[in-house]
Every structure is written in structure tokens, then in C-alpha cells.
Structure 1
């Protein structure tokens, strides 16, 4: 992985933590996520229509991606209703790189060195350690299975999109279409679960959701592009450095506690990132 790609993925990680913070701040997490999805889908469709249509075989990857993304956001919305940003986010993001690297090692042709494997392991362990406080601090344990569901969906779309973007040969068009399909899948699910009330939002909610959509689109467009020029497992792992940004945002913006456990886990995450660069 080149240094330029490395910096781009770290920037994407910051954008990812930022849009999660915007959704967490909203009164209705599901409504905020739906606004994000609708705005993102509209932008994606507009961009996709300026590019050549994907070949028929690419649509299989796009449909799978749309389903995984919808599941990811559904689990994440429910999880944020149960716990803090600095608890939900580490669990939701923590398991994903470990799943991705195992699948990549078994089934994909990406070449990953021993140091990089160690870096992914340390990084994942640090993120999971960050989340252990949910059992010690009396927080709602219901957030754990919801956040883990989000993590599994993250691993799914990371693999599908990394391979799908390579197959398509046009990462810009691929990202545009996947977000358009995500809106098609996610919207009826929200209406089914929450009814028409989920569509009720004031001007501030639309503004926050739209800002989150812009950050989310930029973060994932960078990540998918990076997956076309670097090993998928490494990109997926480096994206999880967003936990550092999320913890800082939770501490400064939401006033969440930053204890010794979180600090130690943050050091482990930084160590994992350094090892992936050895």
C-alpha cells in the first residue's frame, strides 16, 4: 500500500467517524439514517448516470452490496438507540477487519505479509478491547448483538465491494449505483418497522442528515477506490482507525468518559496501524 493510499484511507476514517457522530446526535437515529440514505442515494444516482452502465455481471455484486449496506445501517441505528458512540462504534467496527482478513487469506489472491497480519490482529484486538466496558459499566447489553450484526454486515460489504469494484473497472460508477440501490432497499424496511412517522423530520434533522450523507459518501468512495489498488483486508483494517476519531468526538462533543481502558485500547490501535506500514 502506497503512502498516498494510506493517507486517503485515514482521511476516510475521519469522515466515517464524523457521520456516525452526526447520526448519534439526532433525536431519532432511524430517521437520521433514512435521511442520510435518501440523500446519498440521490447523489449516487446522479453521479452514476454520468458514467457508462455497468455490465450485467456487475449487478450481482451491486445487489449484494445494497443488501449488506442496508443491514449494516439497520443494525447500527438500533445499536445507537441502546448505547454511547464510544461503545457501539468500537464493537460495530471491531470484528469486521478480523473477518475480512480471514476470508481474504483463505479465498482471495491478495498478498499480505506477516507483519501486516500481525498489524491487523493487534488493530482488531485494540478495537475489541475498547468495547469491553459495556459489561463493566452497567450499560445496556442489548447493544452488543446489534453492534455485532452491524460488524458482520460491514465485513460482508467490504468483501463484496472490494471485489465488485475491481470487476466493474469503474469505482465511481460502482459506488454511485450501490448507494442508489441501498436507498431502494433501506427505505421500505424503515417504513415497515417504524411506519410513516420515520419520515417526519424538521429542517435541522434534514441538515444534519445531509451533512452525514456527504461525509459518508466521501468516506466510502475513498475506501472502495483504495480497495481497487491495495489489499482489501488492509484497507478494511485501516478504516477501523476511525475508532480513534470516534472516541475523541465522543469525549469532546458528547462528554463521554475517557478512562484508562479506552486510552490503552487506543494505543493498541495505533500500534496495529504502524505494523500494517512495516
Structure 2
């Protein structure tokens, strides 16, 4: 598969493949959010997911794919740190705020920050129309979050802890811009892009799961509810399969296309997230939200077409 992916580099088909991979990543990322946020404790959920995807990928990393170079290990260490901070911030945001509020805030922070960092790190240039579409995209995403926030203020239960959730969501989006650029560097520096992807997942076993274990002990010590091991294993495995899809597809796409274009298209995940938020968490979807979701999708497509 690695040789098949790299055969697209520098060809017109590369952008098409990246387009398909990012749409797959967007849809699966929304599903991942549902699996992550559900259940009893988001920190424990994330720990179980990381352990499962590390164990799934470990044999391929050890026995199938080339080993990382010294330079790639350095990038992997920075990626490990950035993703750990991101995962903890994401868990905090999901544990304190409604899914349809914190998800768009986190997603809206990322596109412009990612594109700016990509300009500095990789000299990736977007056209004026692409920048305008990118600002329209982030504006529509934040507008969606504002509409959700306005409706939640009347609900005391939903609005509890809202400020902390919003701060965590903004920080989550900022960290996503950091790790996107680090991961792009990692996938682009070796002959086989899957080497970086595989070891990224393997190293995930040593980050959030440690905090998840501490969280488990805290809840047990204080008599708080805990998931059954069977339920946690099922959630961990399902989350791992979806995580491998969403993050793996995204990382491979960063080798084939510009980061600004990729991250914009991935924000179509908000449309999927809005639908799933209604289906799984009983969150409302009114006319204003539908219009803004359509604007998000249109802006994301405009970034692609204006390139």
C-alpha cells in the first residue's frame, strides 16, 4: 500500500486521492467524537481507545514497515507531546460541554492557525480567494458555536461549566494546528509515509492511558461510577478502528496536498457531528444551524476550488 500511495506524489491524481482521504477522515472523525464523548468518563474512554489502536498497529510497526530514522524519531517525540496535550484538552472539553458546542469551537480554531503555520514551516501558499474562503469557513464554524451557546444559556444543566469547556475547546483547536504541521513533517520525511503513521499510533499507548488509569483510581476511590471492563473494551476497540481511519487517512493526505486545503475540507466533519449530536445526544438542529452547516460545507469546498 505504501508504494501505491507514494506513486501518486506529484501527479494530478494526488489531489483527488487526498480529497477522498480527507472526506473519509471528516466523516469518521465525527463518529470518533461520539464514541469518545459517550459512556461514563471521557478520559477513561480515550485511554482505552489508545491502548487498543496501539496493540492493533504494533505488529505492523515491528515486522512489516521500515523502522523510523533518527530524524523521524525526533519528530515522533514532538508529535507524541503535541497529541498528548491535545487529547487531554479534548477530553476536558468533552467532559464539561455539550458536543455541538465544544466540537465546532475546537474545529473553528484550527483551519487558519494550521494554514499560517504551514506557510511558515513548509512555505505553502494559498491564493487570496482561498484565504477568504478559509476565513469564511472559520467564521461560519464560530457562528454555529455561538448559535448553540445562545440556546444553551437558558438551560442551566447544559450551561454549567461552559466557560471552562470553551477555553478547553479553543486550546484543543490550537493544538490541532500544531500537531497537523508536525505530523505533515513526519509523513513527508521518510520514503514510507506509513512508518510515521504506525509509530504515532504505537506511542499513543504511553500518553493518555496513563492519565486514564489515574482517573480510574480516582473514581474508584471516591465511589464514582465506573464502566464495566467489557463495555470499556468494546468502546476502546470501536474507537480504535475509527481513530485508525480518521487520523491515518488524514496523515497520509498531508503527504499529498497542502495543509490549508486539507484542514479546510476536514471541517465538513461538523456537518456529520451536528447530525450525530441530534441522534445520540438529543441536541436540537434548527434552521439557523442548518444554514450555517451548509455555509461551512460551501466554504470548505471553495478552498479546494479556488486553489
- The two structures share one fold, judged by TM-score above 0.5: yes
The C-alpha deviation readout for 1:252-274, integer Å capped at 9, x for no partner, is 22220112332232122112122
Give, in angstroms, the shift of residue 76 of structure 1: 1.1
CA distance in 1, matches of 2:192, 2:303: 27
Give, in angstroms, the shift of residue 194 of structure 1: 5.1
The C-alpha deviation readout for 1:86-131, integer Å capped at 9, x for no partner, is 1111111110111011122334222322222222222222111111
| 8 Å CA contact 1:48, 1:174 repeated in 2 | no
Give, in angstroms, the shift of residue 163 of structure 1: 1.2
Match of 1:156 among 171, 175, 178: 178
SS in 1 for 2:207: helix
Match of 2:252 among 225, 230, 236: 225
Partner of 1:79: 93
CA distance in 2, matches of 1:43, 1:267: 37
Partner of 1:12: 25
Deviates more, 1:126-135 or 1:206-215: 126-135
CA RMSD across the alignment: 1.9
1:211 and 2:238 correspond: yes
| 8 Å CA contact 1:135, 1:141 repeated in 2 | no
Paired residues for 1:194-273 under 5 Å: 195=217, 201-273=228-300
CA distance in 2, matches of 1:67, 1:193: 20
- Show structure 1 runs of 5+ residues with no match: none
| 8 Å CA contact 1:43, 1:176 repeated in 2 | no
CA distance in 2, matches of 1:214, 1:4: 21
Partner of 1:38: 51
CA distance in 2, matches of 1:12, 1:166: 19
- Show structure 2 runs of 5+ residues with no match: 1-13, 154-158, 221-225
| 8 Å CA contact 2:184, 2:255 repeated in 1 | yes
| 8 Å CA contact 2:80, 2:204 repeated in 1 | yes
| 8 Å CA contact 1:47, 1:173 repeated in 2 | no
Give, in angstroms, the shift of residue 193 of structure 1: 5.1
CA distance in 2, matches of 1:107, 1:181: 24
Match of 1:105 among 97, 115, 119: 119
Give, in angstroms, the shift of residue 159 of structure 1: 0.5
| 8 Å CA contact 1:22, 1:212 repeated in 2 | yes
Match of 1:144 among 166, 187, 195: 166
The C-alpha deviation readout for 1:5-36, integer Å capped at 9, x for no partner, is 21221111101110110121212111111110
Structure possessing the higher radius of gyration over alpha carbons: 2
SS in 2 for 1:15: helix
CA distance in 1, matches of 2:169, 2:125: 30
Give, in angstroms, the shift of residue 67 of structure 1: 1.1
CA distance in 2, matches of 1:45, 1:126: 40
Partner of 2:3: none
Match of 1:274 among 301, 304, 307: 301
- The number of residues matched between the two structures is 278
